[in-house]
Amino acid sequence: MGLVATDYGIKEALAQLGVIEINDGSSTGSNFFSNGELLSSFSPVDGKLIAKVKTTTAEDYENVLSTASDAFLEWRKVPAPQRGEVVRQFGDKLRELKDPLGKLVSYEMGKSLQEGLGEVQEMIDICDFAVGLSRQLHGLTMHSERPGHRMYEQYHALGIVGIISAFNFPVAVWAWNTALAWICGDVCVWKPSEKAPLCGIACQNIAAQVFKANGLPEGISCLINGDYKVGEMMTSDQRVPLVSATGSIRMGKIVAQKVAGRLGKSLLELGGNNAIIVSPDADIKMTIIGAVFGAVGTAGQRCTSTRRLIIHDSIYDKVKDALVEAYSQLRIGNPLDENNHVGPLIDVDAVNMYKKAIEEVVKEGGNLLLEGGVLDGEGYESGCYVKPAIAEANNKFNIVQHETFAPILYLLKYSGELQNAIALQNGVVQGLSSAIMTNNLREAEMFLSVAGSDCGIANVNIGTSGAEIGGAFGGEKETGGGRESGSDAWKVYMRRQTNTINYTADLPLAQGIKFDL
């Protein structure tokens, strides 16, 4: 069922993860109740077919939901610290398999090997965070207005958590959700991107080993594969109280409406149109490093990728020239070769969107400093490798207002006070990540104030891309408003309950109401 690359140990990595059999590369391992049509996974690295997996039918989905529902009845009764112990074991298993899983992420998705390994490290980190959290699922105790009464609130497991993830982070975002959901006593049903299904199978194999070793029901972690139609089964299912979806704004609006229509909960992580403000007091060297990585890392396919650079007119030419010089040093090629900076886009459709965006910015009056273009020839046979582009543009351009998942950076100029730059930064419908480069304390504090960035993430002297596990991740406006990962993001995976206990022989009513019989 497919050929796999022999270079860089990819075939061995796939075998270690249980995705294929090492003897002939033909098996995709367990199909997890799947009996649908075959879904092919091609690598954007070399264009080769890696393997095929069976997609989930409606009947398969019912089997999965039944299995998950039964597992929840058992898992929710396991004490949270014991659930934490299971997650600790899962994290240790990820440590053992970090290298092969990182290689699979790099090969199937196209990000650099360092980023692939970093994504697995994010999974390990969120497991560590969740283990500590398993002893801190705390509520509040409050004083009652009625004598002899005690009030408190507590959190209970929610049930089945549906997870829909995107191709750009094919394993980490699932782990952000599932590690916290497991700690909270929930079970998870995951639909990975149809563009990276093998990463999903690999993660499911790892989780299944851990749960089996602990004598726990297999339905605690479930996998469904396929396109948006499979996701629709979950978003419209009353048995799934929470759907966490990562993807485009268009997709998120569909999910939100469908889930809200049945009064369910949705956790949405949608598009970004992220900007770095470069003030006259910026450290230029630091700015260039942050901007270049933010714009071209993962070939511009992060939701936190830097799309806009808002530069003060007094240093505009200096920053522009330094950027062009830095871009000339970028090496584009096989992401498993650690000498390269930029890998491929996910597929030819993404390449076409990249080309269209460049055409549009020119039509709207933009000036291309670096024209970009699609690479061909030896090493670029997949047709997915493109040159990072830079365009001088206007924030009001239609194409600048939209997110293009590609390495295209728009340079915008501002003059006068910082508030003018902040207005440009906030002048888009997305509100995920933002940053300012400045050594001016007043500017930094203004950017972080209520009159500053309107994004869920606001950074000073670092770029827009990259986030630590300890902080809650997510954005405002049409980014969806969801929060994942650290801080108190765990609360969305649980239901809150307020409890009042009367330990007297009387029954006083609240607000002093009298009701005597």
Residue 410: pLDDT above 50? yes
> pLDDT > 90: what percent of the chain?
92
Is 47 among the domain residues?
no
The span from the CA of 80 to the CA of 397, in Å, is: 51
2 confidence band (pLDDT: 50, 70, 90): very low
- Domain of residue 254, residue span: 56-270+483-496
Contacts 24+ apart (CB under 8 A), 232-239: 232/258, 233/56, 233/58, 233/61, 234/61, 234/162, 234/164, 234/189, 234/191, 235/162, 235/164, 235/259, 236/262, 237/65, 237/162, 238/262, 238/264, 239/65, 239/69, 239/159, 239/160
317 in Cβ contact with 286 (< 8 Å): no
Q: Are residues 266 and 281 in the same domain?
A: no
Is 475 among the domain residues?
no
CATH number for position 221: 3.40.605.10
Q: Are residues 233 and 245 in the same domain?
A: yes
Nearest Cα residue to 32 out of 164, 223, 198, 197:
223
Q: Are residues 248 and 380 in the same domain?
A: no
What is the model's pLDDT at position 481?
96
Residue 30: pLDDT above 80? no
Nearest Cα residue to 394 out of 418, 424, 353, 423:
424
Q: Which residue(s) pair with 187 in the sheet?
A: 160
What is the model's pLDDT at position 293?
97
What is the model's pLDDT at position 29?
35
Residue 7: pLDDT above 90? no
Q: Work out the mean pLDDT of the chain and round it to a whole number.
A: 94
Residue with tokens 């309950």: 497
Is 304 among the domain residues?
yes
Residue with tokens 């954007």: 44
Question: pLDDT by residue (tens digit) across 111-139?
Answer: 999 999 999 999 999 999 999 999 999 99
Residue 4: pLDDT above 70? no
113 in Cβ contact with 106 (< 8 Å): yes
453 confidence band (pLDDT: 50, 70, 90): very high
140 confidence band (pLDDT: 50, 70, 90): very high
Residue 19: pLDDT above 80? yes
What is the model's pLDDT at position 23?
36
Q: Are residues 258 and 319 in the same domain?
A: no
What is the model's pLDDT at position 21?
54
Question: pLDDT by residue (tens digit) across 183-201?
Answer: 999 999 999 999 999 999 9
Q: Is the pTM of this model over 0.85?
A: yes
What is the pLDDT averaged over residues 72-97? 98
Give me the active site residues, please.
Answer: 269, 303
Q: Are residues 215 and 287 in the same domain?
A: no
Q: Are residues 202 and 61 in the same domain?
A: yes
Q: Are residues 287 and 249 in the same domain?
A: no
443 in Cβ contact with 461 (< 8 Å): no
Residue with tokens 């940053």: 435
Residue with tokens 């980490």: 172
Q: The sheet that has 140-143: what strands, in order across it?
A: 140-143, 149-157, 494-502
49 in Cβ contact with 57 (< 8 Å): no
What is the pLDDT averaged over residues 2-15? 72
Residues 6+ apart with CB under 8 A from 495: 155, 156, 157, 158, 241
The span from the CA of 30 to the CA of 201, in Å, is: 8
Is 29 among the domain residues?
no
What is the pLDDT averaged over residues 224-251? 97
Which phi-psi region, left, alpha or beta, contains residue 458 (left: φ > 0; alpha: ψ -120 to 50)? beta
The span from the CA of 130 to the CA of 327, in Å, is: 39
What is the model's pLDDT at position 8?
80
What is the model's pLDDT at position 467?
84
Higher-confidence residue of 2 and 320: namely 320
Q: Are residues 364 and 409 in the same domain?
A: yes
Total tally of structural domains belonging to the chain: 2
The span from the CA of 231 to the CA of 164, in Å, is: 7
What is the model's pLDDT at position 33?
58
Residue 398: pLDDT above 90? yes
What is the pLDDT averaged over residues 431-436? 98
Is 252 among the domain residues?
yes
Instruction: Please give the distance of CA 271 from its chain centroid, rounded to a whole number.
Output: 10
What is the model's pLDDT at position 24?
34
Q: Are residues 206 and 191 in the same domain?
A: yes
Other CB atoms within 10 Å distance of the CB of residue 138: 10
Q: How far is CA 61 from CA 66, 209, 289, in A?
A: 9, 22, 46
Other CB atoms within 10 Å distance of the CB of residue 7: 12
Residues 6+ apart with CB under 8 A from 79: none
Residue 59: pLDDT above 90? yes
> pLDDT > 70: what percent of the chain?
96
Amino acid letter, residue 413: K
Residues 6+ apart with CB under 8 A from 462: 290, 435
Q: Are residues 235 and 190 in the same domain?
A: yes
87 confidence band (pLDDT: 50, 70, 90): very high
